[in-house]
Amino acid sequence: MIDLSTVILDTRLSQTITVIRKNGRFVAGRFQLDEPKTIKMQGIISIANAKQIEFIPEGDRIGGEIAIHTTQPLYNSRNATDSEKAGISDEIVWHNEPYKIYQVNEYSDYGYYFAIGQRMASD
């Protein structure tokens, strides 16, 4: 198999990505979030194309979807018994705009992860 991680980490293409990760656990039937963690990772971000946006239901689209390639995992909402893995979707800060991870595809056999991020509505 071809390892594409060198392409993702190439300094001519990659940039530093700020990820806000919110893990938590169920306590007495309610989900409690831990303190959010800020993680820096390298990757490639581009504007999502029409084919990639098709994965987001029309009613949920607000525009500004991005495609993210990283060598470290990103997460959407997940339930797990391990509190390090249970939590709500990661958020990405790109160009001072927050994006919520909507979908993640694991291509770790090829050295990377691919995710779709959706711009979060401003208050």
Tens digit of each residue's pLDDT (9 = 90 or more) over 57-114: 565 556 678 999 999 999 988 766 655 567 889 999 998 999 999 889 999 999 999 9
Place of tokens 């160009």: 95
The answer, yes or no, to whether residue 122 has pLDDT greater than 70, is: no
Q: What is the CATH number of the domain that holds 111?
A: 2.40.10
The predicted structure's pLDDT at residue 30: 82
Q: Residue 24 is which amino acid?
A: G
Element (DSSP H or E) covering residue 59: none
Contact indicator for 107, 70 with CB cutoff of 8 Å: no
Q: Check: CB of residue 117 under 8 Å from CB of residue 95.
A: no
Domain containing 88: what range?
Answer: 5-119
- Number of structural domains the chain divides into: 1
Q: Is 108 helix (H, G, I), strand (E, B) or coil?
A: helix
